[in-house]
Structure 1
Amino acid sequence: MITTIGRPNQAVTLGAGTLDRAALQRAEAASLWEKDGSRVLPLWSYKPFCHDTGGLAYLDTKDPKVAGLARDAIFLGVDDAGGAIFAVDVTEAWDVHALEPLQEGFLDPSQQRVDGLSGRAFCELRSVMTLLSAWEAEIASTARGLLEWHNRHGFCAACGAKSNMTQGGWQRDCPACGAPHYPRTDPVVIMLVTRANSVLLGRNENWPEGMYSLLAGFVEPGEPIEAAVRREVLEESGISVSEVSYVASQPWPFPASLMLGCTAKATSCEITIDPAELQDAMWVTREDVALAMAGGHPTLKAARKGAIAHFLLMKWLADEIE
């Protein structure tokens, strides 16, 4: 049985759900771009433009630096004053100077700057997501997810012809066969699996040394959430679980996931990992988790702040979920 725990989702980074997406205005996005008060968020290589002092760095849609980009702009919604908010990919359009190279790996800490726009830089969303307001974090994550979808799905899945962006960026239409295509979101369950005073943690081989987090996996077609939780935990760790409960969700646009945070009670204790899924897994006591979350554990590193795994573990430590 799956139940809902009545906790506000606003506390989950990227998961506030407060952006007015103004879906009924998407068809008129081109005219909204021309209106006074409309703003656009530039993204370079999926990195949002940010002020050095904090917050997203928008430009007026009439700014010469974004002139000519309206056709490819994505309408995200409106602000409290009714002003339209857009996102646009400037990776090819802008000449980025003094480029700090992109860094491969778990997290890219590099920043890229643009001549004539001082005090601002392109920053990896995962590195700044906890520094943004809930509203701006939702704007940045929505922009990133949509831009990546467009870049990955430029051709019709039905006939192979190049498709065209419509509805303010929320749809692609095929001019050859007429098939419409919509942004995809892949549901992923992530589980706080507990047994007495311990929680089940695992690690991927490409994570930083010592970092462990909650187990997670994609929901399969035709599969309910609670079944996905039981299957993924059993497949990855050999642990059987029961009493699945839903807690909160988190959009995770890297590239297109929706994390479904759940809790589950273990009914077995012996771990048998699937090496194709995990490098390691172990039971960790509440005391060790608390020490790791405070940054004081000698060997264990906690899940990154801002990730829903961190949120779930903090709720567990506070006895707000079991």
Structure 2
Amino acid sequence: LSSTWLGLLGAGSLIGLFGSLLVGRLADRYGRRKFFMADMLALTLLSVLQLFTTNLAALLVIRIALGMAIAVEYTVGTALLMEWVPAKRYFRYQTYLLAYWAIGYFAAYLVGTFTTGFGDRTWQVILASSAIVSTLAGLQRLVVRQPESPRWLASKGRIIEAINLVHRYVGEDYTVHPAPQVEVKNGAWRMLFSKKYRRRTLVGGLFYACQTLPFFGISIFLPILMENMNVTNPLVTQLLYYALMIAGVLVGIVLSNHLPRRYFLIGTFLASAAFLLVLSIWHQAPLALTLILFSLFSLTISAALVIGLRLPKRTL
């Protein structure tokens, strides 16, 4: 593969994540449950399709479609969690979810590294192996039927149905309030960049972009990065990177409970930038120092993800 195709195929799923812009709108209109139930089936079918093509353009289309399916999981799955869990338990459950994602990245790396024995089709088997996980998750969702979001039901005027679900699955001590009846005017995307909203848009958008793009980008292309860093034992280094990613989530949980959010956010950005700056400028740094700086970067950037979970209290 040329570097162009390697980059496109590696980033294909990230490109597909922009489907969140459409998925969120559809989920608000038609509900969360339908998308949540169908998502794993789509992921399974798309994963299996990778076994049957060696055409790079077709593979790129499949990878982008996989990213769109992942966008459904990110958008709808997170919305369901946020809208079902009572406020006092939300942060704990959301950090569990973040930790499971980090474990998933680690597991994916292990599969990609140690899967062998399929000859020229080994790379296809590696890519298609995600079908195993999505099939198991899909079966679980068929057996344990996920009820609709009570908040979404309330927003559609189905308040009795929403309250009954909350009483059944959360407890009689909880309820969900009717959605406030306010006049909503249709808006356009350009409103986000109007004088009134552009500062909030830039702060919110750049905050998440600057967190997630390095996180995903480095994780996806980690083997190539290790090769260019002249690391003598890339396997151990990559295992350390993913292990510290999981540890970083735990560190982030502890720090976010003791530091103001503003200091935590700015501090993690500055620290990770400093580590990368030294690595990018000092090409001939001792190997031990390179590994220490890269490990600290992994720990910091995964810890920073926790701050996005600290949302205002809700009323469930």
Q: Name the TM tier (shorter chain).
A: under 0.3
Higher strand residue share: 1
- If the length of structure 2 is used for normalisation, what is the TM-score? 0.27
Higher helix residue share: 2
